[in-house]
Amino acid sequence: MTGDRLDESVARAASRQARVSLRVGQPENSPDWVKCAELLSDASRFDGWRDRLAGWLRDQYGEAPERTVSGYLMTWYLSVPGYLAALLFHHERRVPSLRPEHLAFRMARPRPHPDAIAVLDRRFVCLPDDPAAGTPDATVVPDERALAAVLRGRFTAHAARFVTTFAPSVRFGRHTLWAAATDALDDSMLLAGRYGGDEGAGVVDGALLLPDRFAPLTSASTMRPGDGGTGWTRRRESCCFHYLIESGKGPCATCPRVLPR
């Protein structure tokens, strides 16, 4: 790493993948951007997102089962803190603030998934050899295990606020919601490695982040070699409920309904 600001870390991490845009700071006067804290302040704030997604599903498949809509929303929302954190940990060995007040995302059109993420606070946690160690924005921890614990704790705190807000409005138990949170964290680390060109490194970081189950998360990392011994995959802890759409593709290959432990 040659720079020391979070802006530079985010730019480097963003350049290693094309799944979403990443930035520091939220653009002004952009109606498609939403702050995580605003969504989590009131469950009814998810209604507009739910309506947009249901409309898109009906356009694509002719139906929008309630559980499918809710399954997509929980997966998409939790990927915002999960994917941002995984990218910065994997590529930069930094952990930003994951507080809902410090994250925002942009909803794409017409499929209303998060296609851009903004971190709104410039402070971060890093290792002793980070070039920013000792600067006002950096908090130093002694080693990678400690840094992974910071990431896990910050993500879990954000996910807890999501579960508290979202649970009363859906027909899912809290175990399902926490399973989705576990998936968001573990899957994001696998993707960080895959998109960065070293899938195995993502697997190593997944094991560092989730070496065991840390309740309320529902499992340790479930990454495993893919069929035929090429590449890596993982068994999901949660279901996206896409299989409920009659014209859809059925259960995903990594769904817990079809893939044994």
Predicted confidence at residue 2, as pLDDT, reads 44
Find out whether 62 and 56 touch, Cβ atoms under 8 Å: no
Q: In which band, very low, low, confident or very high, does the pLDDT at 240 lie, cut at 50, 70 and 90?
A: confident
Average of per-residue pLDDT across 99-125: 98
Predicted confidence at residue 259, as pLDDT, reads 64
Q: Does the structure show a pLDDT above 80 at 127?
A: yes
Q: In which band, very low, low, confident or very high, does the pLDDT at 60 lie, cut at 50, 70 and 90?
A: very high
Predicted confidence at residue 226, as pLDDT, reads 87
Predicted confidence at residue 239, as pLDDT, reads 84
* Total count of residues recorded for the chain: 261
Give tens-digit pLDDT for 164-188: 999 999 999 999 999 999 999 999 9
Question: In sequence order, what E strands does the chain have?
Answer: 21-24, 33-35, 94-96, 103-107, 114-119, 124-126, 138-140, 223-225, 232-234
Contacts of 215 (CB under 8 A, 6+ apart): none
Structural domains in the chain, sorted by start = 6-244 (1.10.510.40)
Between CA 229 and CA 220 the distance in angstroms is 21
Q: Does the structure show a pLDDT above 60 at 3?
A: no
Predicted confidence at residue 1, as pLDDT, reads 42
Average of per-residue pLDDT across 13-28: 96
Give tens-digit pLDDT for 129-170: 999 999 999 999 999 999 999 999 999 999 999 999 999 999
Q: Does the structure show a pLDDT above 80 at 233?
A: yes
Radius of gyration for the alpha carbons in the chain, expressed in angstroms and rounded: 18
Nearest to 246 by CA among 67, 73, 68, 63: 63
- At residue 216, what are phi and psi to the nearest 5 degrees? -85, 0
Predicted confidence at residue 29, as pLDDT, reads 81
Of residues 195 and 254, the one with the higher pLDDT is: 195
Q: Does the structure show a pLDDT above 70 at 260?
A: no
Between CA 140 and CA 225 the distance in angstroms is 34
Q: In which band, very low, low, confident or very high, does the pLDDT at 21 lie, cut at 50, 70 and 90?
A: very high
